[in-house]
A and B are shown apart, each in its own frame.
Chain A
């Protein structure tokens, strides 16, 4: 069927093709930073994004970006490195972490020069705020390392990077959905099949290099803080291309999200004196953490909430959440100190927090795992005793696992990760392009396979609906692979997710139009979510220890003897493999694993 597709009921149309030096899939901070590096080096670069670039999820980041500028308190990159390794519960790769922390100041100044309006101190220097997990002098006093542009850092970064790319003549394919990678027999990645959402027409983008920068997969869980676009498409594409996903069992949850809707209610609410109660009105955190109570660390509070609900002490008609009590603080305090939270509660729950307690549940926030890369952004897979680079393929940002966050990400390190490794990937691609001047011959079999994948959604008839199945998947993941994890729960989770995935075969779309057929996009997003869900629950089931965000009730301790290693999940046969953590930094001494106490 050489390069043709059949439009349902219409005559065959030729598959349009375009060629670029480099393809970037995703226009968040990671993709745009990489594209900028390429375009300014005069590479011919295409950026594909399923939504208009400045609507990427990076826009939601409010807190800020970490760099040891030492503008407010003493600081240096080596302390930042220590904090990041400790925060990662020693699962982070120390070479990548050193590289990130050393590059941070330079990259923040670069953003400043490009026009990001960072908040300032009276002396004109960039203001820095303290965030959890930041210390001076390797675990000493609190540090202040987070640079912010008021409460819209991600927004400012994204808009600045987009403008710079326009200026550098990056070619944008806005509202194009990437379906699958094109790969040849020798393992070279040659581009991707994408779909123009407006017209429903497929397009083959051939490129000497392809960078995946499609962001995280918060939509795996019912209660999550992520935009709806965060369906982990790039991770699904990688799995289908035979590439494993790394450390997928590590998903960061925030204890207090709006129940059933996910919006984040920051720690500030409890910091100001709010507390949690169960259906008996009991202040249950006193049982789980007698000293810190409601201010215990995120994972402890999350697990406590989940346990209350599981053991039948949840509130509401189905006992599915607990309540956050804020009314005793009084209307004035709420309005003055917690205006954002009060707004969110009023808007999405129609509750006045000054009068009624607020339904909350742990909310999924950040995907630590992802496509395995080295610190140059190259996608790497294990071979014999070492690792092999997948030629022509790169990944950066939340979809990648480089791994700087290990088992647990520190606030403010993700915006840093995306610009540092976006740029690093850009630099490596430039070198690759200088050694690989010509396009390789396209692998038509791989193209056909991708086209078949798309055409599967033309099947007509009665069947299951995407929305139903997605809801069931999200609920199942929340219940069986959320914060409450045991052997039994996870084993049941695997079974349930696989059962649901089988039902994908029966899904039929009712809408077969071409123009803005969002049903078809949502169906392909759900396919990706399923592949990632299986990866997550299988990896979580196998890891018999508690480390960072992965906490097992039945294995409550970290086990460095058996589990100081990265998981790798392959779609084929649902196989797991492992590889060592890189404990050797680039230029400084290693930080050996220690007990993680704050």
Chain B
């Protein structure tokens, strides 16, 4: 990234990068992650943001298990974000 980019640019780029990481191989994941980005992204604390990034690194099937609550991530912050995503899904 351009070292001279303003911090606002950097925030925008960061959001755009995460937005693309939310494009997954399954509709269920796309839908839940998109709902979360739309509803909750702007309110995330730095710690939650970091946990969200970690969560997005999980392979799709495991991520689905986490988000549907069939498995719980070991890291409590990550587990908390997974739960928030589940609650943000839907209407």
User: A residues near B, CB below 8 A?
Assistant: 50-51, 54-60, 152, 155, 158-159, 175, 197-198, 224-229, 261-263, 343-344, 347-350, 513, 515-518, 521
Contacts and interface: CB of A to CB of B under 8 A. Distances in A.
B30 interface: yes
Given A51-B23, A515-B1, A518-B16, 13 more contacts: A50-B23, A51-B24, A57-B26, A58-B25, A175-B20, A227-B25, A227-B26, A228-B23, A261-B31, A347-B89, A348-B89, A513-B16, A516-B20
A60 B59 contact: no
Contacts of A517: 16
Nearest to B34: A228
Given A347-B89, A518-B20, A155 B61 contact: yes
B61 A59 contact: yes
Contacts of A516: 13, 16-17, 19-20
Contact of A229 (B23, B59, B91): B23
Contacts of B86: 347
Contacts of A58: 25
A270 B76 CA distance: 39
B89 A227 contact: no
Contact of A228 (B12, B17, B27, B60): B27
B30 A228 contact: yes
Interface of B: 1, 9, 12-13, 16-17, 19-20, 23-32, 34, 59-61, 68, 86, 89-91
Contact of B59 (A54, A515, A518): A54
B13 A155 contact: no
Nearest to A218: B27
A349 B90 contact: yes
A344 B28 CA distance: 8
A227 B90 contact: no
Given A197-B20, A349-B90, A513 B26 contact: no
A10 to B, nearest CB: 11
A55 B60 contact: yes
Contact of B23 (A55, A262, A350, A515): A55
From A50, A59, A158, residue with most partner B Cβ within 10 Å: A59
Contacts of A54: 25, 59-60
Contacts of B68: 343, 347
B60 A155 contact: yes
Contact of B61 (A51, A56, A152, A225): A152
Best-surrounded residue of B9, B25, B29, B86 (most CB of chain A within 10 A)? B25
Given A227-B24, A229-B23, A348-B89, A515 B16 contact: yes
Contact of B19 (A198, A263, A349, A518): A518
A201 B28 CA distance: 31
Contacts of B34: 228
Contacts of B25: 51, 54-60, 158, 227, 229
Given A513-B12, A515-B16, A516-B16, A350 B26 contact: no
A227 B20 CA distance: 13
A518 B31 CA distance: 17
15 contacts: A57-B25, A59-B59, A59-B60, A60-B25, A60-B26, A158-B25, A197-B20, A261-B31, A347-B28, A347-B32, A347-B89, A348-B90, A349-B90, A350-B90, A518-B16
B13 A513 contact: yes
A252 to B, nearest CB: 15
B31 A198 contact: no
Contacts of A228: 23, 27, 30, 34
A263 B60 contact: no
Contacts of B32: 347
A198 B18 CA distance: 11
Nearest to B57: A52
A224 B30 CA distance: 12
B24 A55 contact: yes
A236 to B, nearest CB: 18
Contacts of A60: 25-27, 60
Given A343-B68, A347-B86, A515-B1, A227 B16 contact: no
Contacts of B23: 50-51, 55, 227-229
A271 B64 CA distance: 25
A155 B59 contact: yes
Contact of A350 (B20, B30, B59, B91): B91
Nearest to A521: B20
Contacts of B24: 51, 55, 59, 227
Contacts of B60: 54-55, 59-60, 155
Contacts of A521: 20
A408 B52 CA distance: 40
B17 A263 contact: no
Contacts of B17: 198, 515-516
Contacts of B61: 59, 152, 155
A261 B13 CA distance: 28
A513 B11 CA distance: 13
A152 B26 CA distance: 12
Give the 3 A-B residue pairs with the shortest CB-CB distance, closest first. A59-B25, A516-B16, A60-B26
A55 B31 CA distance: 15
Contacts of A59: 24-26, 59-61
B41 to A, nearest CB: 14
